[in-house]
Amino acid sequence: MDSKVYELMNDQIKHEFYSAYMYLSMSAFCETENLPGFASWLKVQAAEEQEHALKFYEHLLDRGQKVNLKAIEQPPVKFASVKEVFEQVYAHEQKVTALINNIYMAALEAKDAASQIFLQWFITEQVEEEKNSSAILDMVTKLGSSVGGLYQLDHQLGKRKGD
């Protein structure tokens, strides 16, 4: 495996685990705000991010590479509102998309067909992640100060189940 692709994939494991950690922090905030649906949605999202990290982990091992786990930063713990939470979620998913695209471009440059095929799943997944977080942010923004609307959305998001 090309050394640049290898390093980027090892870094991506850290980024995916950080995403999970960040979403758990956001979930805890929503719990303290008495928004269990938002909290549940974010907890399911955190579990998905852990799965993503493990996909990179397994890919490296399947390719005979050493996994080099790196330190994970502390995520933010204070948020002004649910709107701020989802502004950060959307911005974070855009950042992850850029990271995935960067790994793909490195794999393309290295002519690493196996990694290119592996990364196709993540490229498709990131389209969905950005779409979902953008839609929730849009709904929260449109609700403005409507407490009733916020609780309705909370109830709807609470229906999300893990895979």
Q: Say which CATH class 3-71+78-157 falls into.
A: mainly alpha
- Confidence check: pLDDT of 74 > 70: yes
The whole-angstrom separation of Cα 14 and Cα 31 is 26
* Residue 144 pLDDT level (bands cut at 50, 70, 90): confident
- pLDDT for 109 equals 98
- pLDDT for 62 equals 97
Neighbour-count burial of 149, counting CB atoms closer than 10 A to its CB (0-12 exposed, 13-18 middle, 19+ buried): middle
- Confidence check: pLDDT of 91 > 90: yes
Q: What does the domain layout of the chain look like in residue ranges?
A: 3-71+78-157
Q: What is the amino acid identity at position 135? A: A
Q: What is the average pLDDT value for the chain, to the nearest integer?
A: 95
The whole-angstrom separation of Cα 59 and Cα 147 is 45
- Confidence check: pLDDT of 163 > 80: no
- pLDDT for 49 equals 97
